[in-house]
Structure 1
Amino acid sequence: MLDRFTQFCVQALPSSGPDITAVQPWQGDDAPTYGITVTFSSGSRLWLQITGGLAPGTQAGEATTPPSGAVLEPVPLPALFDETGTVSPLRAEAYLTAALTHTDSTEIAQAYGYSSRPGQPAQHPGLGVILHNGARLYLPFVHTAKAEQDRGRSPFRLQSSF
């Protein structure tokens, strides 16, 4: 499931948000088992880890058929860049959440930003995805970088704008 979702993000996200120029699997030193790097049109980048929980009643290692259901209704893409041309983690969260609704995936039942969850919003930005079979995917933001910067070595210490 995690490998399939990683490949889905690599293929689908660049065409669902005009300010996303590339999505690549995050690999190499200190990389999580599953993750992606998103590059925006400004050259700034965001690294997301991908973890998940199985659908209810599913056993680890059990072969499953990808879930299928209605395609999400696309929501308008919010502005990614502020007036200075930079991205904040919250703007990236809202933009990527909306971009997921533009992918026409029949597997995704719901996409949400951690900061906009009903009840108690998360203190750390990221994306949540619920699949039609009840499986859940979690994509916390791990690193940010401005154009021409590297990702740094301190995970979860995000720049306020990048």
Structure 2
Amino acid sequence: MRPERFRPFIAEALAAAPEVQTVEPWDGRSTGLRVTFRTGAELWLGVSFAAAPGEKYENPEQPVHGKPPAEVPYPDLYEDGKVSPDRAKRYLAAALTNAGCDEIERAYPYPDTNKHPGMGVVFHNGAKAFCLFEATARPGQGMGSRNAELQGAF
């Protein structure tokens, strides 16, 4: 799946998660999405891509279909009523897994050892999407002027 199809897909998939209120396009330091949870907490997610091996974007896309990932239970998103980057990456990876897309081989949260939390997507054709958390905000706080501020709880 190429970027022009993935961006609307991920917005729809994340918006379908029970604890997500809205998902809107966001063009900050990278192209991505602003996710607002039902509590009003917000997360800004940058999205980038790696093409499938040997694929050239100037050629027509050849989608590769396979078995979609098996549905998984949504993990707890809140602790003491707040979201953390760690909980968000697991929750949003589950939302992508549960979307039932037959072009996705797997969606996964990044390991805790990564410098930036987020999640990855591997497609059946070998392409990859990288979804890094760039900023968070408590309800009503907004991003402010400082990008890439990740709060421990928001």
Aligning the two structures, in what range does the TM-score lie when normalised by the shorter sequence?
over 0.9
- 1:95 maps to 91
SS in 1 for 2:146: coil
Among 92, 99, 114, which residue is 1:122 paired with? 114
Check the 8 A contact 2:110/2:118 in 1, yes or no: yes
TM-score, reference length from structure 1: 0.88
Q: Provide structure 1 residue ranges, at least 5 long, that are not aligned to the other structure.
A: none
Where does residue 34 of structure 2 map in the other structure?
37
Q: Residue 149 of structure 1: CA displacement?
A: 1.1
What stretches of structure 1 move > 4 A for 4+ residues in a row?
A: none
Supply the distance in 2 between the matched residues of 1:115 and 1:123 (Cα, whole angstroms). 9
Q: State the Cα RMSD in Å.
A: 1.4
Q: How many Å separate the matches in 2 of 1:132 and 1:103? A: 15
> What is the aligned partner in structure 1 of residue 13 from structure 2?
12
Alpha-carbon separation, structure 2, partners of 1:104 and 1:31: 30
The aligned counterpart of 1:2 is 3
Residue of structure 2 equivalent to 1:154: 146
Select the structure that is richer in strand. Answer: 2
**1:31 CA drift (Å):** 4.6
Q: TM-score, normalised by structure 2?
A: 0.93
In the alignment, residue 130 of structure 1 is paired with which amino acid? V
Gaps of 5+ in 2: none
More deviation, 6-15/39-48: 6-15
Structure 2 residue aligned with 1:141: 133
Q: Percent identity, please.
A: 39
1:143/1:23 Cα in 2 relative to 1: closer, same or farther (>3 Å)? same
